[in-house]
Amino acid sequence: MKPTNIAIVLLVLLMGISIPVSYAEIIHDNASKINNLVVDREDVYFFEIDNSKQSSTWMPDTNVYAHDDSGVRLVSDIHFIFPMELTEHGNYLYFSKLEDSCIGNVICDYQDVVRMSKTDGSFDVIIDHLKSAIRLSVENNGIYISESNGNIWKFNHDGTSPQLLYETNNIIIMDIMTEKDGTIYWIEEIEDQNNSILKMEPNSDPVTIASELEIPYDLKDDYGQFWNEIYTDMNKGLSERTKITQHTDSVDTVVGDFKNTNPLSHKQAGNHYGPYLIVGDYLLFSNNTDNGSAIQMQNTITEQSYDIQTVDYKVEFMRAEGDYLYVIGAHQDRFLIEKITLPVSVPEFSVLTITVLATGMFLAIAGFGRFAIMNSSYR
């Protein structure tokens, strides 16, 4: 076969390589306030406030919605007061709500845990009278719950068989994260600007893995433990920043440090960001410096940054699932949910890497073809 024909064949083969095309789709628009969402495969479940009905508390009533192949639908037509901690496992959604006895009582701060069917919206209160604000994590072996009074519990998925795993002397627990083997991580508020992160393996005593933190939040477990920490910076004027730390094998590594988007920091020169999300080896964040926002991605190892999407709304919340990033955005007083293709599939092979390899192959083949044509012309 002639060199020119070889080059053509290789180019045709290369064109057959499937490289995902980035796209974005608004799956819910012109909505009332949306404050949380979870994803099961490509079905999205979220809370949306019903502005047409005001409860007897200081919080408006909230519905549970889903977006699936049929579009947006109500999972249940029942309203819930102050629902939080939305998560999913198997055929059910789990979340907390204000305890009924607290309705109309502004000093009452107890919550219940609800288990709701994803298909027909039927639900039960499976755990009640927990000291708010609780944190909720669901694993295959049960439900883990922390109370603000310092207790950590484990329950069966139906709310039975409570086990008190840990208790403090009313030290506030601000966040909780669990692993499949039953290892628990949590944040304790020792005092203002002095917080600790603890770890407890099954049948072991807790150990402190980080201390003297200012305002840590958002514990994650993805190739190591991650948390965000808000702190103030006095350089070049007072500003508020967020530091993202990775804890692996007893070593803490700062993988990101950004000036937040808030009135305090906004007055200072330079870029400002937030919210933030860890996905494998990548940090996703919203750059809010210009009008609208630009969702960006940074490799935590190489520190190389990529633009994912420019949006014309304020990014309120992000969650990654599979090949997609789901974003809650706010535009004036209306909310939306946008589904955006991720440039990487974690933990699968990186689409960016595929693109780089394909580009390199294309250039190499093009060069080979040019060389072959030139070489054949001298014969």
The set of residues, in sequence order, having a beta carbon less than 8 Å from that of 92 and lying 6+ positions away, is 115, 116, 117, 118, 157
Write the DSSP symbol of residue 139: E
Which H or E run includes 34? Answer: strand 34-40
DSSP per-residue string spanning 208-247: EEEEEESEEEEEEESSSEEEEEEEEE-TTS-EEEEEEEEE
Please give the single-letter amino acid code of residue 173: I
Q: Burial level of 214, CB count in 10 A (0-12/13-18/19+)?
A: middle
pLDDT at 126: 99
CA distances (Å), origin 227, targets 108, 202, 230, 242:
30, 22, 10, 10
Q: Which helix (H) or strand (E) holds 81?
A: strand 71-81
Q: What is the pTM of this model?
A: 0.84
353 φ/ψ sector (left φ>0, alpha ψ -120 to 50, else beta) = alpha
Kindly write down the DSSP assignment for every residue of 153-202, as one continuous string: EEE-TTS-S-EEEE--SSPEEEEEEE-TTS-EEEEEEEETTEEEEEEE-T
Instruction: Provide the residue-wise pLDDT of the chain in tens; the chain has 379 residues.
Output: 555 554 444 444 444 344 444 689 999 999 999 989 999 999 999 999 998 876 565 667 899 999 999 999 999 999 999 999 999 999 999 999 999 998 878 788 999 999 999 999 999 999 999 999 999 999 999 999 999 999 999 999 999 999 999 998 889 999 999 999 999 999 999 887 789 999 999 999 999 999 999 999 999 987 789 999 999 887 756 778 999 999 998 899 999 999 998 776 666 667 889 999 999 899 999 999 877 789 999 999 888 888 899 999 999 999 999 999 999 999 989 999 999 999 865 544 344 443 433 334 334 434 444 434 344 444 4
CA dist list (Å): 214 to 188, 226, 236: 11, 15, 20
SS3 of residue 16 by DSSP: coil
- Residue 223's pLDDT is 74
Instruction: List residues bridging with 352 in a β-sheet.
Output: none
Bond from prior residue into 7 cis (ω within 30 degrees of 0): no
Enter the DSSP assignment of 19: -
pLDDT in tens, 220-279: 987 789 999 999 887 756 778 999 999 998 899 999 999 998 776 666 667 889 999 999
Supply the pLDDT for residue 233: 82
- Residue 192 carries which side chain, given as an amino acid letter? D
3-state SS, residue 141: coil
**Bridge partner list, 152:** 146, 166
**Tens-place pLDDT, residues 113-159:** 999 999 999 999 999 999 999 999 999 999 999 999 999 999 999 99
